[in-house]
Amino acid sequence: MGRLKLGILISGRGSNMQALIERFADPDSPAEVATVISNRPEAAGLARAEAAGLPTTVIDHRGYADRAAFDEELDLALSSAGVELVCLAGFMRLLTPEFVEKWRDRVVNIHPSLLPAFKGLDVHNRVIASGVRITGATVHIVRPEMDAGPILVQGAVPVAQDDTEDALAARVLAVEHRIYPLAVGLIAEGRVRIVGDRVEIDGAAPVDGALLNPDAL
């Protein structure tokens, strides 16, 4: 079986894209990046992808009459590149239900919270304001609803009592860079099964211990 072909969609700097590029640069890895597509021509991640020798495409959403027309062009670009798994990496566009259904179970996303908590934008400020002690990041299978779908991998991050948005975001981002390549690798290795609204992973090791915050006992 050949390497799983990835299509990475970005809108900005592409730091999670970079984590995927680095993880799957080795020809012996189970996946390879087939194309990088941005809806913004000014996205800094395009230069990162080009520096890695990857093909890039800009599909500027502002040139399309509606979301459906944009998604049709996106679908064509992904299919033409032979993409088998679509990875959203800071892609700031809601995909139409028709696109998600056509690519059902073949689109993954990463979100900077422990879903289903704190869906949407301005996540870290809302986390701090809520008083929760633990947050994190989630890789999930995409469904038509925003930030919804079967959960693949999560990573937990303690929230400090004096946290700022920037400080918390940096710690969560470091975890994102670990769990996104892990999740995509599990899919590429054929270890992921989607059963209803849950993901089952072959050979998943049980996790021992607990993360406490504050750990003042």
**DSSP for 116-168?**
TSS-SSSHHHHHHHHT-SEEEEEEEE--SSTT-S-EEEEEEEEPPTT--HHHH
| CB of 158 closer than 8 Å to CB of 172 | no
Specify the 3-state DSSP secondary structure of 78. helix
The whole-number pLDDT of residue 179 equals 98
% of the chain beyond a pLDDT of 70: 99
Residue 24 has pLDDT above 70, yes or no: yes
* Pairing assessment for the beta strands 198-201 and 134-141 based on DSSP bridges: unpaired
pLDDT digits (tens, 9 = 90+) for 54-95: 999 999 999 999 999 999 999 999 999 999 999 999 999 999
The whole-number pLDDT of residue 83 equals 98
When pLDDT is averaged across residues 165-171 and rounded to a whole number, the result is 98
Residue 125 has pLDDT above 90, yes or no: yes
- Residue 52 is classified by DSSP as T
Token pair for 126:
């809302």
Residue 1 has pLDDT above 70, yes or no: no
Instruction: Choose the catalytic residue: 61, 111, 140, 177.
Output: 111
pLDDT range class, residue 206, cuts 50, 70, 90? confident
Token match 């913004």: residue? 40
Specify the 3-state DSSP secondary structure of 56. strand
Distances (CA, A) of 47 to 22, 44, 124, 214: 15, 6, 28, 41
CA angle 154, 29, 140 (to 5 degrees): 25
Residues 6+ away with beta carbon under 8 Å from 203 = 191
pLDDT range class, residue 14, cuts 50, 70, 90? very high
Q: What are phi and psi of 76, to 5 degrees?
A: -65, -45
**Other beta carbons within 10 Å of 15:** 18
When pLDDT is averaged across residues 150-173 and rounded to a whole number, the result is 98
When pLDDT is averaged across residues 113-138 and rounded to a whole number, the result is 98
Residue 32 has pLDDT above 70, yes or no: yes
Residue 217 has pLDDT above 80, yes or no: no
| CB of 191 closer than 8 Å to CB of 203 | yes
Catalytic: 140? no
Domains of the chain in start order, with CATH, are 4-196 (3.40.50.170)
Token pair for 77:
């670009």
Residue 13 has pLDDT above 70, yes or no: yes
The whole-number pLDDT of residue 129 equals 98
